[in-house]
Amino acid sequence: MIQPVIEKIILGIDPGTTIMGYGVLRVKGTKPEMIAMGIIDLRKFGNHYLKLRHIHERVLSIIESYLPDELAIEAPFFGKNVQSMLKLGRAQGVAMAVALSRDIPITEYAPLKIKMAITGNGQASKEQVADMLQRMLHFSKDDMPTFMDATDGLAAAYCHFLQLGRPTLEKGYSGWKDFISKNPDRVK
């Protein structure tokens, strides 16, 4: 069960080196509401380092505009092209560093987990994810972005919203003997 909050702003980011998507959710009680989604267009920058600087500037601007309490970011998945993977990791790292500079906690989610949380299918297409978000968050088809990277960023934020109130395991156990030795009061 999702634990109610007075108000929480969640920024979701879908990292990219050509188009980076973002979405911002406001959660009041247990009700999420989309307050923004968009893209950071990096196509005009030929130099990768200039792209990184632009990511830094734009993510900082988004954070200053919406004052998120938490950042949910899609984790890069392993691809065949090592150079692309490296560049994507740098882009993600810059976005994370900006959040960290503002003391915003970060949670990474695998693409499969995000798609599964939104659609129930880890292999869902970007269009299926966007359509499901549009239905769940009740925004009009007119508000649907041209680039699905924006809805992918929103999907990361929504996936994080769905995790609110879920218990996290504070301490790990290597087996039943380890559990019993660390919790003798719970065993009869």
Cβ neighbours, 10 Å, residue 186:
8
Question: Would you list the domain boundaries of the chain?
Answer: 7-182
103 is catalytic: no
- pTM for the model stands at 0.85
131 is catalytic: no
* DSSP character string of 114-129: HHHHHHS-TT--HHHH
Give residue 65's pLDDT. 98
| pLDDT at residue 167 tops 60 | no
Is 149 marked as a binding-site residue? yes
| pLDDT at residue 181 tops 90 | no
Indicate which residue of 41, 57, 149, 178 is catalytic.
149
Task: Provide the percentage of residues in the chain whose pLDDT is more than 90.
Answer: 70
Indicate which residue of 14, 41, 64, 142 is catalytic.
14
Options 3.30.420.10, 2.60.40.10, 3.40.190.10, 3.40.50.300; CATH of 7-182: 3.30.420.10
* DSSP character string of 30-57: TEEEEEEEEEEE-TT--SHHHHHHHHHH
Is 131 marked as a binding-site residue? no
74 is catalytic: yes
Bridge partners (DSSP) listed for residue 1: none
pLDDT digits (tens, 9 = 90+) for 59-111: 999 999 999 999 999 997 766 788 888 889 999 999 999 999 999 999 999 99
Distance CA 114, CA 109 (A): 6
Is 74 marked as a binding-site residue? yes
